[in-house]
Every structure is written in structure tokens, then in C-alpha cells.
């Protein structure tokens, strides 16, 4: 998978974590995704569904096949305190584009445990 990320992402540990988290999500490395969320995580796929709890998210990810992503473009990775956002797009092998913005809340300001994600998606 080709990866296009902002050059400023490497100098902040939480930004680097979010880049790796989104790469794992796009590549289907769901064990890494699940390892990074809290037991009581809430993942809101806005306009579609809401998943509550680590086991619900894990079941969803394992039960749904995702298209092969050829290119992951991250336009912005913004962090402030417990909150963060990543926006970008994924391009599939067939050329379809899925634009997204993930708004994350971490458990606290010290650790990289994701407590919630509101995921906005267009296309695909």
C-alpha cells in the first residue's frame, strides 16, 4: 500500500501513533486496532451504526471484508489534549475513493488508548 502523509506527523508521538493506527485500519491489521482501544470504546460510523465495546468493534471488523486499499492519503493529523482528528482518503485497487474524517477521544492525555471515534465517510 502506498502511503502519503503530512511530513510534520513524525515529530509528535500521538500524531505518529494515529498515523500507524490508521495504516493498520486500512491494511486490515485489526489485532493492532483492537489493541489500541479501551474496553468501553464507542465507535460511531456516523449515519450508519454505533458500536459499543471492544468486543462489538472486534466482531464488526472481523465480519466485514474491506476492499484492498492501494493508497492511503492522510491530509491532516491534529491533536489537542485528549482529542484528535485524522482526515484523508483511501483509494481502492478499482480506483474508488473513500474520503474520511475520524474524530478520536483518548482515555487520557498520557496514554494512547482510544475511548471513542466518530467516523465520517463519503464515497467508496
**pLDDT tens digits for 49-76?**
999 999 999 999 999 878 899 999 999 9
State yes or no: pLDDT of 10 exceeds 90: no
Exposure string of 57-85, with b = 16+ CB inside 10 Å and e = fewer, is bbeebeeeeeeebebbbbeebebeeeebb
Instruction: Name the residue range of residue 63's domain.
Output: 2-123
pTM for the whole structure: 0.94
- The average confidence (pLDDT) of the chain is 95
Look at the chain and count its residues. Answer: 124
**pLDDT tens digits for 89-117?**
999 999 999 999 999 999 999 999 999 99
Cα separation, 56 vs 18, in Å, equals 21
Please give the pLDDT value at position 11.
73
Number of domains in the chain: 1
State yes or no: pLDDT of 35 exceeds 90: yes
Task: Find the mean pLDDT for residues 85-92.
Answer: 97
Cα separation, 14 vs 17, in Å, equals 5
CATH number at residue 68: 3.10.450.50
Amino acid at each position: 500500500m502506498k502511503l502519503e502523509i503530512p511530513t510534520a506527523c513524525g515529530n509528535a508521538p500521538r500524531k505518529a501513533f494515529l498515523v500507524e493506527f490508521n495504516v493498520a485500519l486500512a491494511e486490515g491489521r485489526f489485532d493492532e486496532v483492537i489493541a489500541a482501544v479501551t474496553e468501553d470504546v464507542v465507535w460511531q460510523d456516523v449515519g450508519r451504526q454505533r458500536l459499543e465495546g471492544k468486543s462489538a468493534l472486534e466482531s464488526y471488523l472481523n465480519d466485514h471484508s474491506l476492499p484492498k486499499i492501494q493508497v492511503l492519503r492522510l491530509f491532516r493529523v491534529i491533536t489537542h489534549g485528549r482529542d484528535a482528528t485524522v482526515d484523508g482518503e483511501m483509494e481502492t485497487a478499482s480506483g474508488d475513493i473513500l474520503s474520511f474524517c475520524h474524530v478520536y477521544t483518548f482515555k487520557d492525555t498520557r496514554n494512547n488508548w482510544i475511548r471513542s471515534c466518530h467516523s465520517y465517510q463519503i464515497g467508496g
